[in-house]
Amino acid sequence: MAGNSDRQGQSVTSRAFALLGAFDVAHPRLTLTDMARRAGLPVATAHRLAAELEAWRALDRDVDGCYRIGLRLWEAGLLAPVSSRLREIALPFLQDLYEANRENVHLAVRDGFDTLYVEKLAGHRSVPILSRIGARLPLHATGVGKALLAHAEPAFVQAYCERPLPRCTRYTIAERGRLLRELSLTRERGWAQTSEEMSLGSCSVAVPVFDDAGGAPTAALAFVIHTNRADLAKLVPALTSAAAGIASRLAEAREADAS
Amino acid sequence: MAGNSDRQGQSVTSRAFALLGAFDVAHPRLTLTDMARRAGLPVATAHRLAAELEAWRALDRDVDGCYRIGLRLWEAGLLAPVSSRLREIALPFLQDLYEANRENVHLAVRDGFDTLYVEKLAGHRSVPILSRIGARLPLHATGVGKALLAHAEPAFVQAYCERPLPRCTRYTIAERGRLLRELSLTRERGWAQTSEEMSLGSCSVAVPVFDDAGGAPTAALAFVIHTNRADLAKLVPALTSAAAGIASRLAEAREADAS
């Protein structure tokens, strides 16, 4: 690391990425000062690094001088497997699900203790929902999350349940014993459901996507619908069939990598 | 830049981004050696920087040690306005267009001399197409590209036409005079079309999205359909109405930024 560190003992690369990490959904546009403060860097350092990030278009600037995440970073990010592989393979299946039912369709993966949303299809008639692409929500409060958690390694489930379980609505299952019973039921039944556990007025039904034998699911698929339209079990066969289609395409792609 | 450069005279930040730039659609997975070679860096330098990029999850590693663009880079990229603003605002409109017509729906912007695809909705029944999110195609050979080019600044159009115009199929309009007449017709008619100019067997109809008075279009919307289903003019009113809806939401978002 010689020549690659400054007085703060932080590498140049990690400081450049600290600037990128200053942006989030609540802060998609930042002045230089705010960006430096959120990244924990002196303004002069932030200014110099921002110029380099701007040259690569990892950052772009608005006409008023505010910084935003740049176009080239978006393009590079699309090459991550979650987008270039999972999302690309799943999209026509999601589209068919949407077309047949006209309800919100979600695709999510597990990352750490979070449900991470990879795709979300919605029309103007769908129930408004909290998730957007890239959103993170608690596993135990979402349908996709329960489908992922129900089939995770037992040690992971234990670690998850030992942490405080946030209560998103008054219907969220936030007691450890109840959650474990719910996960067990989810495994037996083959699909997960929620009823106003993440947002009042909406419920969901979800299935896991397995792309290899025996492991944890790669992803989960869900419909999220108005509570008063809820006939969740009726939506399961379409989800199961889409999940099988996606799983088989993912397995093909993995074999192509290996060869 | 003191302390921020190495013997090659390139900053640490630009070398770290050179590693990210080593990945593209044809190379989404790279060994350390290939990544170093494509980035023009010594393997030892690449190895050290890759470890830092991996720590931030700008890179992730497969079980076999190959590198891929990482999950956090994908998450950061989603905050770029093209995704967090344009794509998010446009999606329900695109979804409604898809739902009503069941044909490929595209959303694109102009970046440099390229059509850059921001979203593409397709079901299993849609005609297979070349574009994917993040793809870049020539402006003069695509419907969205012609819609963007027809309303670009005259100096830009001139610069575009002075470069060689690649011929993607035998129907691509690759003569300057013919292209200028086509753009003029596109402006008068209010919509662009292509017929097998990018891919044999498919044609497209596109309209620009203007979100402020007088400027160049922010984006363009298109249907891409089988040539033998082509009744392009019939698809224009739905596109125009979606473009107006998107434009009005974009203008609202811009006003919210300014206030």
Q: Which of A55, A63, A17, A54 is nearest to A38 (CA)?
A: A17
Cβ within 8 Å, pair B28-A116? no
Residues B238 and B129: beta-carbon distance below 8 Å:
no
Is residue A2 over pLDDT 60? no
- The pLDDT, as a whole number, for residue B220 is 98
Is residue A7 over pLDDT 70? no
Find chain A residues with C-beta within 8 A of B16's C-beta: 13, 16
Is residue A4 over pLDDT 90? no
- The pLDDT, as a whole number, for residue A131 is 59
Of all residues in chain B, the one with the smallest CA distance to A124 is: B92
- The pLDDT, as a whole number, for residue A237 is 96
> Average pLDDT for residues B101-126, to the nearest whole number?
88
Q: How far is CA B231 from the centre of its chain?
A: 26
Structure confidence by residue, pLDDT tens digits, B92-112: 899 889 888 888 899 999 999
- CA–CA dist B230, B233 (Å, integer): 9
Question: Across chain B, what does the average pLDDT equal?
Answer: 90
> Average pLDDT for residues A102-110, to the nearest whole number?
92
Residues A239 and A97: beta-carbon distance below 8 Å:
yes
From A13, A74, A96, residue closest to B80, measured CB to CB: A74
Is residue B192 over pLDDT 50? yes
A16: its two tokens: 């450049």
Cβ within 8 Å, pair A80-B69? yes
Q: Order of strands across the sheet with B67-69? A: B29-30, B67-69, B59-61
From A71, A93, A95, residue closest to B82, measured CB to CB: A71
Cβ within 8 Å, pair A98-B96? no
pLDDT class of A122 with cuts at 50, 70, 90: confident
To probe the interface with A, which of B75, B85, B121, B257 has the most A CB atoms within 10 Å?
B75
List, in order, residues 6 or more apart from B113 with CB less than 8 Å away.
B138, B139, B160, B163
Is residue A6 over pLDDT 70? no
- The pLDDT, as a whole number, for residue A213 is 64
Question: Across chain A, what does the average pLDDT equal?
Answer: 90
- CA–CA dist B129, A197 (Å, integer): 40
- The pLDDT, as a whole number, for residue B2 is 39
> Average pLDDT for residues B10-22, to the nearest whole number?
91
Q: Which of B139, B142, B137 is nearest to B157 (CA)?
A: B139
ipTM computed for the complex: 0.90
Is residue A212 over pLDDT 80? no
Structure confidence by residue, pLDDT tens digits, A133-192: 899 999 999 999 999 999 999 999 999 999 999 999 999 999 999 999 999 999 999 999
> Average pLDDT for residues B221-241, to the nearest whole number?
89
Residues A181 and A195: beta-carbon distance below 8 Å:
no
Find chain B residues with C-beta within 8 A of A68's C-beta: 79-81
Structure confidence by residue, pLDDT tens digits, A232-255: 899 999 999 999 999 999 999 888
Q: What is the pTM of this model?
A: 0.90
pLDDT class of A128 with cuts at 50, 70, 90: low
Structure confidence by residue, pLDDT tens digits, A31-41: 999 999 999 99
Cβ within 8 Å, pair B77-A77? yes
B164: its two tokens: 């060689």
Structure confidence by residue, pLDDT tens digits, A53-65: 999 999 999 989 9
Strand-pair category, B104-111 with B114-121 = antiparallel
For chain A, where are the alpha helices, taking DSSP H only?
12-20, 32-39, 43-56, 71-77, 81, 88-101, 143-150, 154-162, 176-189, 232-258
From A77, A116, A121, residue closest to B73, measured CB to CB: A77
Task: Look up residue B229 and give its DSSP letter.
Answer: G
